[in-house]
Amino acid sequence: MSTAMNTELTVAAWPGLAPRLLRDGTDTESAAQYRDAGGYLPLSDVDALHDEIARAGVLGRGGAAFPLAVKLSTVRRAHQSGRDTVLVANGEEGEPASVKDRWLLRHRPHLVLDGLRLAARIIGARHTHVYVSDDRAAAAVLAALDEITPDALDGVTVSVHTVAPGYVAGEETAAVRAINGGPAKPTDKPPRPFEEGVGGLPTVVSNVETLANLPYVHRHDAAAYRELGTDGSPGTFLATLTGGGRPPGLYEIPFGTAAAELIALHGVPAERVRGALMGGYFAGLVDRRILGGVLDHESLRGLGSGLGCGAVSVITDECPVAVGASVLAYYDRENAGQCGSCFNGTAAMSAAATALRDGIADGEDLARLRRWSEVLRGRGACATLDAACNIAASMLAMFPEEVARHLDGTCVGCDAGGFTATRPFEVESL
């Protein structure tokens, strides 16, 4: 399957793959179309489905790759002890270089709602929330809800909660805080949402792509789900590809796909690749070793990087130091302003990286940047400061020659007016 939604985004499944998450066409899938394809199947055995999800090894697609069955089990036990529970489908896509969640919500809202229904039944939640920052996504979900009767969702009710977009707004405690009427900013942990979430109740916050995998497990089984992918990263995932002078692309691919093959499918010649920005921005920079990498969680950890939300930005003509400095400047602007370590830490790392990019840094600036990237980890209420540390540390480790040229003021590309994007590799629209 291969289809272009418009001239700005190409949507395609891996050659020869029967897509599980994508579908042909550029329209929004209707309830009738979704049912005809096998959606909204009756759920007769909640326990059996929970066990199948565990055997399937469904991992979270929001970035952390946490096993979904474990997350569900914790809140399910609270329900079994007599407590009310809540489910939040998190579609607030904070990573500028990612588009997968917006695409699913806009084009396959019934797939997301079906997955939401199944997860809600497992944890005993009677009310759920779809949490988004994209108006078109919110409208698509509301229209989808108007198409169906309550019995389609087994009596589970759904509210759509829309917030202003922001990098920290998609963090799970920020989602809970916003739904509870506060700002969409992270809170200190504990308590975590599974302990005390929406309305003070045990809450599962799950990424919409994660939930979109559940109807496949329900319709087939764990063994069928595991036919693609790897032992540690089973199934398929949605990869957003940007960079290389190409329009952005959204691809459904099996975990374990060679990065070089995906980059080639995206139309970027290997000889042009200098490296990549991984996991949106969170997983940091990797050099040309990405061309020998495999797109699953365990393999990329071995490269000192990560898959995160599945977004890969290919670096070709851009200077990696300039890319790193631009991302750090983004984190400086986007931090929640609540934690002194993050507020001051992102500002300090951004200033040092900007000075390096501009050829005015010295060895002491570089030493400070390296030290901050190590000692500031884990100090914020959310992962923003960790993400900034990942960018700084990976830039210094993966691109030492480029860093040295900037110390010497000999980076020709940056001398001629380098890369200074406000939101690097952003997928602006669909």
Return the CATH number at 306.
3.10.20.600
Residues of the domain holding 294: 236-315
Q: Note the pLDDT of residue 429.
A: 66
In this structure, the answer to whether residues 246 and 311 fall within a common structural domain is yes
Range name among 85-89, 271-275, 417-421 with the lowest pLDDT average: 417-421
Looking at the predicted structure, is the pLDDT value of residue 364 above 60? Answer: yes
- Dihedrals phi, psi of 16, to nearest 5 degrees: 85, -5
Report the number of distinct structural domains present in the chain: 3
> 430 in a domain, yes or no?
no
Looking at the predicted structure, is the pLDDT value of residue 416 above 80? Answer: no
Last residue of a domain, one of 172, 204, 225: 225
**CB of 153 within 8 A of CB of 111?**
no
> 427 in a domain, yes or no?
no
Instruction: Dig out the tokens for 107 from the structure.
Output: 């084009």
Tens of pLDDT, residues 326-348: 999 999 999 989 999 999 999 99
Please name the residues in contact with 352: beta carbons below 8 A apart, sequence gap of 6 or more: 361, 365, 366, 368, 369, 372, 392
Last residue of a domain, one of 190, 205, 225: 225
Tell me the three state secondary structure of residue 88. strand
Q: How confident is the model at residue 5 (pLDDT cuts 50, 70, 90)?
A: very low
In this structure, the answer to whether residues 167 and 212 fall within a common structural domain is yes
Tell me the three state secondary structure of residue 138. helix
Quote helix, strand, coil % in the chain, to nearest 5. Answer: 45, 15, 40
Range name among 44-48, 96-100, 327-331, 336-340 with the lowest pLDDT average: 336-340
In this structure, the answer to whether residues 59 and 141 fall within a common structural domain is yes
In this structure, the answer to whether residues 36 and 181 fall within a common structural domain is yes
CA distance 154 to 149: 9
In this structure, the answer to whether residues 243 and 185 fall within a common structural domain is no
Select from 201, 166, 208 the least CA-distant residue to 186.
Answer: 166
How many residues can be counted in the chain? 430
Select from 291, 424, 259, 296 the least CA-distant residue to 353.
Answer: 424
Select from 277, 289, 362, 377 the least CA-distant residue to 327.
Answer: 277
In this structure, the answer to whether residues 326 and 199 fall within a common structural domain is no
In this structure, the answer to whether residues 297 and 333 fall within a common structural domain is no
Tens of pLDDT, residues 9-41: 999 999 999 999 999 878 999 999 999 999 999
C-alpha neighbours within 13 Å on the C-beta side of residue 51: 4
- How crowded is residue 126: how many other Cβ atoms within 10 Å of its Cβ? 15
**CB of 113 within 8 A of CB of 28?**
no
Last residue of a domain, one of 264, 286, 315: 315
In this structure, the answer to whether residues 194 and 260 fall within a common structural domain is no
Select from 130, 114, 150, 140 the least CA-distant residue to 38.
Answer: 114
In this structure, the answer to whether residues 160 and 296 fall within a common structural domain is no
- Among all chains, which residue has been given the structure tokens 């990424």? 207
Looking at the predicted structure, is the pLDDT value of residue 2 above 90? Answer: no
CA distance 161 to 159: 6
The sheet carrying 127-132 orders its strands as 157-162, 127-132, 86-90, 203-207
Instruction: Dig out the tokens for 139 from the structure.
Output: 């409208």
Tens of pLDDT, residues 276-297: 999 999 999 999 999 999 999 9
Q: How confident is the model at residue 97 (pLDDT cuts 50, 70, 90)?
A: very high
Over pLDDT 70: what percentage of the chain?
Answer: 97
> 280 in a domain, yes or no?
yes
Q: Note the pLDDT of residue 428.
A: 84
Looking at the predicted structure, is the pLDDT value of residue 1 above 50? Answer: no
Tens of pLDDT, residues 143-164: 999 999 989 999 999 999 999 9
> 364 in a domain, yes or no?
yes
Instruction: Dig out the tokens for 290 from the structure.
Output: 């990405």
Q: Tell me the average pLDDT of the chain.
A: 94
CA distance 27 to 5: 9
Q: Which H/E stretch holds residue 285?
A: strand 284-286
CATH code assigned at 61? 3.40.50.11540
Looking at the predicted structure, is the pLDDT value of residue 7 above 80? Answer: no
CATH code assigned at 370? 1.20.1440.230
In this structure, the answer to whether residues 56 and 106 fall within a common structural domain is yes
- How crowded is residue 338: how many other Cβ atoms within 10 Å of its Cβ? 16
In this structure, the answer to whether residues 367 and 308 fall within a common structural domain is no
Looking at the predicted structure, is the pLDDT value of residue 362 above 80? Answer: yes
Select from 179, 185, 193, 189 the least CA-distant residue to 338.
Answer: 185
Looking at the predicted structure, is the pLDDT value of residue 380 above 90? Answer: no
> 122 in a domain, yes or no?
yes
Mean pLDDT value across residues 203-224: 98
> 349 in a domain, yes or no?
yes
In this structure, the answer to whether residues 305 and 327 fall within a common structural domain is no
